[in-house]
């Protein structure tokens, strides 16, 4: 699934938010935050949700303090997929294609 520039910006901000929280809570030091950020920048650009998750998994293994970020990404990607299915269902319902709408849920 192709990711919008808005989505990429949102997840980058969330990365920074998590990094700031970890620093504030003393769960990582400045050097680790710097090293993780350098590695994070190497992940860019991100071409799709599959690309994102393929890149994030090894990143989080290298920096396990950031595992909440991977969970956040999984949730956000699933939310996008759910919204797309719901929108398609809505379109089918408006076109009186109830069977097609229901079949989307089963796939």
- Render pLDDT for 54-82 as a digit per residue (tens, 0 to 9): 999 999 999 999 999 999 999 999 999 99
CB-facing half-sphere around the CA of 74: CA atoms within 13 A:
9
* pLDDT at 62 (0 to 100): 97
Across all residues in the chain, what is the average pLDDT?
95
For residue 2, pLDDT over 80 is answered with yes
What's the full length of the chain, in residues?
Answer: 107
Q: How many CB atoms lie within 10 A of CB 4?
A: 9
Determine the pLDDT at residue 28. Answer: 97
CA distance 28 to 39: 15
The percentage of residues in the chain with a pLDDT greater than 70, rounded to a whole number, is: 99
Phi, psi of 42, rounded to the nearest 5 degrees: -70, -20
Average pLDDT over residues 37-59: 95
Q: What is the structure's pLDDT at 105?
A: 82
Residue 24 has pLDDT above 80, yes or no: yes
Instruction: State residue 104's pLDDT score.
Output: 87
pLDDT in tens, 78-105: 999 999 999 999 999 999 999 998 888 8
Q: Which two tokens stand for residue 2?
A: 């192709």
Sequence-separated (6 or more) residues with CB below 8 Å from residue 37: 19
């Amino acid at each position: 699934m192709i990711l919008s520039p808005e989505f990429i910006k949102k997840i980058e901000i969330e990365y920074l938010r998590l990094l700031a929280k970890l620093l504030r809570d003393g769960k990582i030091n400045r050097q680790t935050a710097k090293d993780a950020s350098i590695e994070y920048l190497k992940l860019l650009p991100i071409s799709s949700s599959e690309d994102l998750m393929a890149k994030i998994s090894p990143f989080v293994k290298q920096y396990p303090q950031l595992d909440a970020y991977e969970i956040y990404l999984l949730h956000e990607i699933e939310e996008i997929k759910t919204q797309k299915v719901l929108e398609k269902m809505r379109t089918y319902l408006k076109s009186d294609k109830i069977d097609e709408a229901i079949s989307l849920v089963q796939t």
